Amino acid sequence: MVREYEVALVFRVDTNENVTNQAIEQVQSWVEADEISKITKINRWGRRKLAYEIDKQREGYYVFMDAEIETTHIPEIERNLKLSNDVLRYLIVRPEA
């Protein structure tokens, strides 16, 4: 079953902008890998100060994606995000109705 989700991501900022853009494209490809799921909107908040230090990083690059994702595909996306070196934190939630 395909449902709407919001994917919140915080990327490392100690790399250059091209690496960050490639990481965003990589996450997009993970979400759209099953050909049923699709990203409907990407909102880049940019570089922001973190509330607390994560992996010796005081700032992160924030990105929010609205997506329609097959529910059985979520664990694989989370696994890929967890293994990615570029992603400091992530959260996949269903938006309020």
Q: What is the pLDDT of residues 19-72, one digit of tens each?
A: 889 999 999 999 999 888 999 999 999 999 999 999 999 999 999 999 999 999
The number of helices, as runs of H, and strands, as runs of E, in the chain is: 2, 4
| Token pair in block for residue 92 | 């996949």
**Beta-bridge mates of residue 74:** none
pLDDT in tens, 82-94: 999 999 999 999 9
> Given the DSSP bridges, would you call strands 2-11 and 38-54 parallel, antiparallel or unpaired?
unpaired
63 close to 43: Cβ distance less than 8 angstroms: yes
Residue 97 has pLDDT above 80, yes or no: no
Check residue 17 and give its pLDDT.
84
* Model confidence, pTM: 0.90
* Structure token digits, residue 61: 């690059």
Candidate CATH numbers 3.40.50.10860, 3.40.50.150, 3.40.190.10, 3.30.70.60; the one for domain 2-93: 3.30.70.60
Domain chopping of the chain, boundaries? 2-93
Q: How many CB atoms lie within 10 A of CB 92?
A: 17
